[in-house]
Amino acid sequence: MRFTVAIDGPAAAGKGTISRAIAREFGFAHLDTGLLYRAVGMKGGDPVLAARSLSPDDLARDGLRSLAAGEAASRVAVLPEVRAALVAFQRDFARREGGAVLDGRDIGTVICPEAEVKLFVTASAETRARRRWLEAGEDGSYADVLAQVRARDARDMGRADAPLLAAPDAILLDTTEMTVTQAIEAAKAVIATRLAENA
């Protein structure tokens, strides 16, 4: 069975947590596409060469969840050559046998426009900044993280190539007032319905 779940949204909206839970629940493979860009950004040097030579070891390196890695990812993700180098890998993963969940910023719009389920997970900038600040556990103020979240949103939404936006047929999931469990249950309900329809 080939069944693709595309989960998009801005930083710290909860899409990674939801994606991992969905993959476990339904036995799908999971790819956090943001890790690809974080790994490219953290490799340093020419980002296009880094993208073309990305290996599984690069995705396992320490520090890919740090604020610095997130900033590096956002800077290299605006480069069309980097995005092109990573598209084929993501599309192959998405159509693997047994189902797949991919989370990122352009999965439903660019990478997998034919996905059986598209979710756009979002939350207020303030909520996302608070989550990221607590998750990172790094020095720095909440105000600094909020400024970084807003700047990243502007970069991600304003880039010419594959900007962050919801696919026209995506289901919006606003997690601002949701607990983690509520958000996961809402996503699971959507996917279970689609699986039943496709059975």
Binding residues for ATP, by number, are: 9-17
Write the DSSP symbol of residue 8. E
Return the closest-CA partner of residue 43 out of 5, 82, 89: 82
Helix-, strand-, coil-residue percentages of the chain, each rounded to 5: 55, 10, 30
Reduced to 3 states (helix: H, G, I; strand: E, B; else coil), residue 5 is: strand
Angstrom distance (rounded) from CA 149 to CA 143: 10
Q: What is the 3-state secondary structure (H, E, C) of 85-107?
A: HHHHHHHHHHCCCCCEEEEECCH
Tokens encoding 71: 């900033």
H/E stretch holding 143 reads helix 142-158
Strands 4-8 vs 100-104: parallel, antiparallel or unpaired: parallel
Report the chain's C-alpha Rg in angstroms: 16
Q: Per the annotation, where are the binding residues?
A: 9-17
